[in-house]
Amino acid sequence: DRVDFNPFFHHIIDRFEMNKVEHIAFERLIPDERVFVWMDQDKITQVLDNIISNAIKYSPEGGTIRFHTEKRRNKLEISVSDEGMGIPTEKVDKIFERFYRVDRARTRKLGGTGLGLAIAREMIEAHHGEIWAKSKEGKGTTVFFTLPLMKKRRDQS
Ligand code: ATP
Ligand code: MG
């Protein structure tokens, strides 16, 4: 479907904000601009659900989660950052592998199968996008992905 991404993103964040724990703050850096993406809404919802759940799961008390979208040439870049414990540099790329979990002892109590980001990567690649993460141990993690933007229709201002 052709989706106006920013309102779609707000809607997903709203859903998490309604149920969220009080000690985590949300901050949105989402421009008030119409950006159209051709995508499977259910699949991208699943991708965002996992990224946002991870950000919440690994956020410390009093942490802020930041949501951001930005147009970059013919792509839209979406990111979610947290102020959690982060991921060691040499392990950041591995989190997109199936069943990979950074620290078994640490993650055991937090639950999950280690499949969320592997599925997210498959879905983003099926949309001809890219997904990656940047992280600093003790500072936090940002997960980014891109989706190709649709060309503007001539009948649309
Ligand atoms: P599932 O998503 O299947 O419930 P999961 O959350 O453990 O399980 P992924 O979402 O694939 O699996 O994440 C893989 C691993 O990457 C996690 O177990 C965790 O170690 C690490 N990770 C993911 N997101 C973050 C984050 N925001 N901060 C710190 N570590 C993270
Ligand atoms: Mg997960």
Query: Ligand 1 within 6 A of 82 CB?
Result: yes
Query: Ligand 1 within 6 A of 54 CB?
Result: yes
| Cα–Cα distance for residue pair 25/123, rounded to 1 Å | 28
Q: Which residues pair with 67 in a beta bridge?
A: 28, 80
Residue 80, pLDDT score: 98
Which is higher by pLDDT, 106 or 65? 65
| Mean pLDDT (whole number) for 124-146 | 97
Query: Ligand 1 within 6 A of 113 CB?
Result: yes
| Mean pLDDT (whole number) for 102-128 | 84
Residue 49, pLDDT score: 97
> Which pair of structure tokens corresponds to residue 54?
């991870």
Residue 20, pLDDT score: 79
Residue 108, pLDDT score: 60
Residue 155, pLDDT score: 60
Q: What percent of the chain has pLDDT over 90?
A: 82
Give the CB-side neighbour count of residue 118, counting CA atoms within 13 A.
10
Q: What is the 3-state secondary structure (H, E, C) of the chain?
A: CEEEHHHHHHHHHHHHHHHCCCCCEEEEECCCCCCEEECCHHHHHHHHHHHHHHHHHCCCCCCEEEEEEEEECCEEEEEEEECCCCCCHHHHHHHHCCCCCCCHHHHHCCCCCCCHHHHHHHHHHHCCCCEEEEEECCCEEEEEEEEEECCCCCCCC
Residue 154, pLDDT score: 65
Query: Ligand 1 within 6 A of 84 CB?
Result: yes
Across all residues in the chain, what is the average pLDDT? 92
Query: Ligand 1 within 6 A of 117 CB?
Result: yes
Q: What percent of the chain has pLDDT over 70?
A: 92
Residue 102, pLDDT score: 87
| Cα–Cα distance for residue pair 44/99, rounded to 1 Å | 20
| 47-86 tens-digit pLDDT | 999 999 999 999 999 999 999 999 999 999 999 999 999 9
- Is residue 109's pLDDT more than 90? no
Ligand 1: centre distance to CA 95 (Å): 7
Q: What pLDDT band is residue 156 in, cutting at 50, 70 and 90?
A: low
pTM of the model: 0.94
Ligand 2: centre distance to CA 72 (Å): 27
Ligand 1: centre distance to CA 32 (Å): 30
Please, are residues 38 and 1 in contact by the beta-carbon 8 Å criterion?
yes
Q: How far is CA 118 from CA 14, 35, 42, 99, in A?
A: 25, 26, 17, 8
